[in-house]
Chain A
Amino acid sequence: MAPETRTQSQPEKRSEPTAATRVDANRPVAEPRPEDIDPTAVFDLEDLSVYYGSFRAIRNVDMTVCQKQITAFIGPSGCGKTTLLRCFNRMNDLVDIARVEGKVLYHGVNLYDSAVNPVEVRRRIGMVFQKPNPFPKSIYDNIAFGPKVAGVKGDLGEVVERSLRRAALWDEVKDRLKDSAMGLSGGQQQRLCIARALAVDPEVILMDEPCSALDPIATGRIEDLMEEIKSEYTILIVTHNMQQAARVSDRCAFFTAEVNETSDTRTGILVEFDRTEKMFSNPSDERTENYVTGRFG
């Protein structure tokens, strides 16, 4: 696989759009040569399936994620939203039995190509987790760790301040940067985690139900924050909260789980992916409509 490093310029065999009909209409069908790549597209998933051992968690996802937009993943529990999200920065690598089929093209480069370094991927594609998970260290060290491992030398005070300001946390913590991050409230911890993700200057931020452990006020703050930073970052968010998806996202993907005939397991599928207004007002698929109107899930 060694000579295949320049995936961009190489005509790759591209699977024909699958039978599933929910393919984005705007997506180019041609080979992904650099000149053909939609300039606003950051990610292009091609027939992506994820397995845990022999269990298939989600299958045959095709979708295009656009730049500087908030893309929300909604759907009932167990439909593979989080599993899918963790493919975007190869976080699934940490699960020994996880296996990915298909492609995750990031600016035309397949992230699952053997030549790709997952550490470099995660520097460009940051992540915020469901439960706030600050390092048990000082607020300063939490932010400074990312730039440090990325090789930034010298005084990181400026980076720390800029990141905390962007995450709307600076005023609350500027006098206690040396205090442990564990002393912050849940909402503050989550904003610290966002600041930590911003500190390495990523292009994309993945958010896995970032507000599910927070109260409505803290949730509101995070949503405002997402609105504010979306001019600079591409955000993908998994959420169980449909109102949240409707409020913050530009585009929305609805997933559901179908029961497999052969075994008593469920595999997630992408049902519909469109502009958020359309998804919530006039979805094309009946299943989406049932879900967003609260009749199912």
Chain B
Amino acid sequence: MAVTTPPMTAAPELVRQRLQGKKVDAAGLIFRALLLLALLVTMAVLVVLLVEVLTGGWGVFTTRMGEFLTGKLGSSAARSGIAQGLRGTFFIGAFVVALAFPLGVGAAIYLEEYAPKSRFARFVDINIRNLAGVPSVVYGLLGFAIFVKALRFLTGPGSANGATVISAGLTLAILVLPIVIITAAEAIRAVPDSLREAGFGVGATRWEVVRSHVLPYASPGILTGTVLSLARALGEAAPLILVGATTGFLSEGAGYGLSTLQERFTAMPIVIYSWAGRPQPGFASNTAAAIVVLLAVVLLANAAAILLRNRYEKRR
């Protein structure tokens, strides 16, 4: 309370009334309630999904977890395992990380740092965005035509006839490539120009500025994008069906050796898809357990990325 000279007493009273008067902001409250509702619905769906698969697969994990993780596909629900699916998913993830990551980040760096901002660059940019929206089944067809058919001599000259984990890995790497490019380009674009100017100002070349300042600054964003795209690739089933993932006739030569790359393969989403369609009672819980395992794999990849990102952010 500042000035309280006697003749002014009326004014402070008025101010006090105004300031303390209750006025309900109805529109604001409704808006807030709607936002909260949106959040709750999302969370509820997620929780229901998790509870559903966890309770469904619980029996499998409590009774025969080791056997389930290391066992092979079979006609008996009680003896079926997901080892082959895990192996396929592992190799697909490896292909995505090894191919889509360097190619995508490289393309993004070129687009953002080197390419002149011409009409052609904008055209390329728009097209990459469009590619990211192409349905995955279309990529499956592309993979079938290119990797399974045309490049059969490379991807699987043997009995698998090209329908191998190499074809699947390449197809999914191409599927997520546009997503990697877009997220990496956005992360690079978010690097303040003042940082580049600082680098150029002391006589660094474009490459030195990119390597020493732009990439470290953008790396958390790039990593996040890469992991999101990896998660997408690991969960895709449609393209895998088209490039010939099977749930039978898998070779006995299990393990993670390179020779298995050119043989018939399967992957977790395919295993889940196939089991979900079986009428026998045991397969329902097997399906739920396989879903839990796939979710865990994806979460592990996410956690690894978060750890890496935190390390980079600390160095900022």
Contacts and interface: CB of A to CB of B under 8 A. Distances in A.
Interface string A145-186: 110011000000000000000000000000000001010000
Interface in B187-227: 192-205, 208, 212-213, 217
A136 B212 CA distance: 11
A129 B208 contact: no
B23 interface: no
Q: Place the interface of chain A in its size category.
A: 20 to 34
A136 B198 contact: no
A91 B315 CA distance: 28
A67 to B, nearest CB: 20
A203 to B, nearest CB: 12
Contact of A146 (B197, B203, B213, B315): B203
Interface in B266-316: 315-316
A211 B42 CA distance: 50
A193 B194 CA distance: 12
A144 to B, nearest CB: 10
Given A129-B194, A182-B316, A149 B208 contact: yes
Nearest to A120: B203
Contact of B202 (A96, A120, A146): A146
Residue in B192, B197, B203 whose Cβ sees the most chain A Cβ within 10 Å: B203
A96 B116 CA distance: 7
Interface stretch (A33-41, A194-202, A219-227, A283-291): A194-202
A81 interface: no
A122 B213 contact: no
A129 B194 CA distance: 8
A197 B202 contact: yes
B202 A133 contact: no
A131 B192 CA distance: 12
A122 B203 CA distance: 5
A78 B41 CA distance: 52
Q: Place the interface of chain B in its size category.
A: 20 to 34
A119 B200 CA distance: 7
Given A96-B117, A145-B212, A133 B198 contact: yes
Contacts of A120: 203
A191 interface: no
A135 interface: yes
A199 B202 CA distance: 9
A263 to B, nearest CB: 23
Contacts of A199: 202
Contacts of A134: 198
A89 interface: yes
Contact of B197 (A119, A133, A149): A133
A30 interface: no
A127 interface: yes
A149 B195 contact: no
Contact of B194 (A133, A146, A182): A133
A75 interface: no
A94 interface: yes
Contacts of B192: 133
A254 to B, nearest CB: 26
Contacts of B212: 135, 145, 149
B32 to A, nearest CB: 35
A193 B204 CA distance: 15
Interface string A122-133: 110011110101
Contacts of A196: 198, 202
A119 B204 contact: yes
Contacts of B117: 96
Nearest to A180: B316
A123 B198 contact: no
Contacts of A193: 198
B202 A149 contact: yes
A31 to B, nearest CB: 31
B200 A145 contact: no
Contacts of A128: 201
B203 A129 contact: no
A119 B194 contact: no
A123 B194 contact: no
Interface in A266-294: none
A119 B205 contact: yes
Residue in A91, A119, A129, A135 whose Cβ sees the most chain B Cβ within 10 Å: A135
Contact of A122 (B195, B202, B315): B202
Contacts of A129: 194, 197-198, 201
B201 A122 contact: yes
What are the 8 tightest A-B residue pairs by CB atom distance, in nearest-first order?
A123-B203, A146-B202, A133-B194, A127-B201, A136-B316, A122-B203, A133-B198, A149-B204
8 contacts: A123-B202, A123-B203, A127-B201, A129-B201, A133-B192, A133-B194, A149-B204, A149-B212
Given A91-B197, A129-B198, 13 more contacts: A89-B201, A91-B201, A94-B197, A94-B200, A133-B192, A137-B315, A145-B199, A145-B202, A149-B204, A149-B212, A196-B202, A197-B202, A199-B202
Interface of B: 116-117, 192-205, 208, 212-213, 217, 315-316
